[in-house]
Amino acid sequence: MAQYPHSDACPGCASTPEVAFSRHDHSHCTDDTLARAEALAQAQGARLTPVRRRVLEILLEDHRALGAYDVLQRLAAEGFGNQPPVAYRALDFLVDLGLAHRIRRLNAFTACLHPGEAHAPAFLICRTCNHVAEAPATPVRSALDAAASALGFTIERSNIEALGLCPACATAEGAAA
């Protein structure tokens, strides 16, 4: 199972990213991540307030990315503020703490499944079921660093995203054709 270079402090399903594309005990993903989020926030002197925690829970509901306005709608329905900044502020907070990631290709946000670990993930987005997996990207990242430093360029932040077909949807599409 541990076929990827990945910390073993990594909770639940996080060490097996293919889980995003298949059935699994999803409570692992949520419970462990929420617990780590609390710890991480405390360690940083930041407060995981009700809105922020709730947004993280919403993002954790499944392995998809949600737009800020989707999140906002949920929040509003639950009695939180119903103006865009409410959602954006919570999302930005989570992204800053490394508890969520922004998927630029989708203008959307997804929960991070292994917060606290230094990682520059690559995202695999299935164009059919919309699931998003955080793939182990250490080799990708080094290749990118190499390409950049060959040009004298210093990378500070990067986003690596791929759109395609997850195993399940590829099978389904093959069957249909």
The one-character DSSP state at 65 is: -
| 98 lies in the site for DNA, by CB under 7 A | no
Residues 31-50 binding DNA (CB under 7 A) are 46-47, 49-50
Q: Which does 27 bind (CB under 5 to 8 A by kind): its own copies, DNA, none?
A: none
CB-based burial, 133-150: b 16+ in 10 Å, e otherwise = bbbbbeebbeebeeeeee
| 142 lies in the site for its own copies, by CB under 8 A | yes
Query: Which among 125, 7, 116, 131 is positioned nearest to 62, based on CA atoms?
Result: 131
C-beta separation of 15 from 29 below 8 A: no
Closer residue to DNA in complex, CB, 4/88: 88
Closer residue to its own copies in complex, CB, 43/147: 147
How far apart are CB 93 and DNA at their closest, in Å? Answer: 7
Position among 46, 95, 129, 170 found at the interface with its own copies (CB under 8 A): 170
Region near its own copies per CB under 8 A, out of 34-42, 64-72, 73-81, 149-157: 149-157
| 160 lies in the site for its own copies, by CB under 8 A | yes
For 44, other C-beta atoms within 10 Å of its C-beta total 11
| 89 lies in the site for DNA, by CB under 7 A | yes
Q: Per the structure block, which two tokens stand in for 86?
A: 């409410």
Report the C-alpha gap between 161 and 79 in whole angstroms: 34
Closer residue to DNA in complex, CB, 68/137: 68
Query: Which among 177, 126, 134, 176 is positioned nearest to 159, based on CA atoms?
Result: 134
Position among 36, 52, 101, 114 found at the interface with DNA (CB under 7 A): 52
Angle at 153 between CA 109 and CA 136, to 5 degrees: 40
Closer residue to its own copies in complex, CB, 112/126: 126
What residue ranges bind DNA (CB under 7 A)? 46-47, 49-52, 67-69, 80-86, 88-90, 92-93, 107-108
